Amino acid sequence: MKPEKLNSFRTGPDERGHFGTFGGRFVAETLMPLILDLEAAYAAARVDPAFTEELQGLHKHYVGRPSPLYFAERLTEHLGGAKIYFKREELNHTGAHKINNVMGQILLARRMGKTRIIAETGAGQHGVATATACARFGLQCIVYMGAVDVERQKPNVFRMKMLGAEVVPVQSGAKTLKDAMNEALRDWVTNVHDTFYCIGTAAGPHPYPAMVRDFQSIIGTETRAQILEAEGRLPDSLVACIGGGSNAIGLFHPFLDEPDIEIFGVEAAGHGLDTPAHAASIAGGKPGVLHGNRTFLLMDDDGQIVEGHSISAGLDYPGVGPEHAWLADVGRVTFLSATDREALDAFQLCSKLEGIIPALEPAHALAAIQKLAPQRGKDHIMVLNMSGRGDKDIFTVAEHLGGM
């Protein structure tokens, strides 16, 4: 698909939360006034220097920002093509990019006078980040997590409990991330007065996709300054994995209007796109409406949502953020995919060559780089978002590799 000629790819969403035909506010009436309140509160906060200053202070002293931009020398040499940089989001406090967004939302919740924070989590990274911020600010924290994921991600469940959060195993539906999100929405509908719903990805009803993107855009903004310092010019390509897509939109957004930069999002192909067991909603889904927004979804012919599969619990959501759906639609971002097997190979390669154990999520982006980098010249600069570290995944990987 050839990119549409637009003056800017960075002006969305419109005032009703639409990115092209995607996005919107598809929620029950009970939640509508809350979403409008949140929109107004966020609009006020984002232009308030005091809010920005407080967030910057936390980023610097608590999260550990700016995260480094690191030249992956041995991987570059091994692949023999493009010069590869990692944006080291895995070095953030709590081990992933998730905390960037959580800090912003929790500060907003405090401004709004909300005392009870709810969140959904799949792999547990967003849950841990939310539990962390709630501990830091003395807020009550309830994390909804599919019962299946509670079993799969025990260390993160324990972490959240240590941080004082209540983890609620969700028994409804398929007992994974989408059901955790349903349950969090049910909680929010019930506890409207004191509760703030801290959504973990750039999806959900407006203003969440735009707000989460804004909070994550610090990734791309830092990258821009860092690559100018390191190379004296902007990169030629960007690569990030896509589940809901918050790490990707955070890296991409500040660069969307640079026409010479190629941008690649990498979805989880699970057992393969030609099987039902994948989580690539852009490559293998179609537009529909779920969890407050219109976006690409995995579903059957009757519009019933089907489960995504990926070895990475952070990517097996059957949808994707609406801004990515739009960027795919207009052709500004190219969406690729990597299978479980390819991600496992990349996971091992990166660990051995760079001494960095990546999370299984960015291992999908690494898998794509293994194909992209050799096709490009040595003067090509490629930035990968190393969105999380792999400590949480070592048992999953060990199981697949036969115990190592």
Partner 1 sequence: MTSRLDARFAACAAAQRAALVTFITAGDPDPETSLALLKSLPEAGADVIELGMPFTDPMADGPVIQAAGLRALKHGQTLAKTVAMVGRFRESDAATPIILMGYYNPIYIYGVERFLTDALAAGVDGLIVVDLPPEEDEELCIPALKAGLNFIRLATPTTDDKRLPAVLANTSGFVYYVSVTGITGAAVPDYSKVNEAVMRIKAHTALPVAVGFGVKTAENAAAVAAHADGVVVGTALISVLKQSLDGNEAATDRTVPDVAAFVAELARGVRGAQRVRGNAGTGALR
Distance CA 36, CA 246 (A): 22
Stretch that binds partner 1, among 90-98, 172-180, 218-226, 356-364 (CB under 8 A): 172-180
Question: CA 237, 239, 242 angle in degrees (round to 5)?
Answer: 150
By C-beta, is 144 or 264 nearer to partner 1? Answer: 144
CB atoms within 10 A of CB 323: 30
Q: Which of 67, 54, 158, 33 is nearest to 362 (CA)?
A: 67
Selected catalytic residue, list 39, 89, 90, 120: 120
Given candidates 91, 241, 290, 373, which one binds partner 1 under the rule CB under 8 A? 290
Give the whole-angstrom CA distance, residue 352 versus residue 41: 46
- Between 229 and 300, whose beta carbon lies closer to partner 1? 300
Q: Does residue 40 touch partner 1 according to CB under 8 A?
A: no
Q: Is 186 in the site for partner 1 (CB under 8 A)?
A: yes
Residue carrying the six token digits 């999260």: 63
Residue 172 or 275 having the CB closest to partner 1: 172
Tokens of 254: 């500040």
Q: Identify which of 36, 17, 46, 188 has the alpha carbon closest to the alpha carbon of residue 119.
A: 188
> Annotated catalytic residue: which of 267, 361, 387, 392?
387
Smallest gap from Cβ 22 to partner 1, in A, equals 13
Residue placing its CB nearer to partner 1 in the complex, 32 or 225: 32
Residue 210 found at the interface with partner 1 (CB under 8 A): no
- Residue 46 within binding range of partner 1, rule CB under 8 A: no
Contacting residue, 289, 395, 398, 399, with partner 1 by CB under 8 A = 289
268 belongs to the binding site for partner 1 (CB under 8 A): no
220 to 9, 149, 252: CA distances (angstroms): 15, 30, 6
Cα distance between residue 355 and residue 88, in whole Å: 13
Distance CA 139, CA 117 (A): 7
Q: Which residues pair with 293 in a beta bridge?
A: 290
Q: How far is the CB of 114 from partner 1 (least distance, A)?
A: 15
Q: Does 29 bind partner 1 (CB under 8 A)?
A: yes
* Footprint of partner 1 (CB under 8 A): 16, 24-34, 172-173, 178-179, 182, 185-186, 189-192, 286, 288-292, 297, 299, 301-306
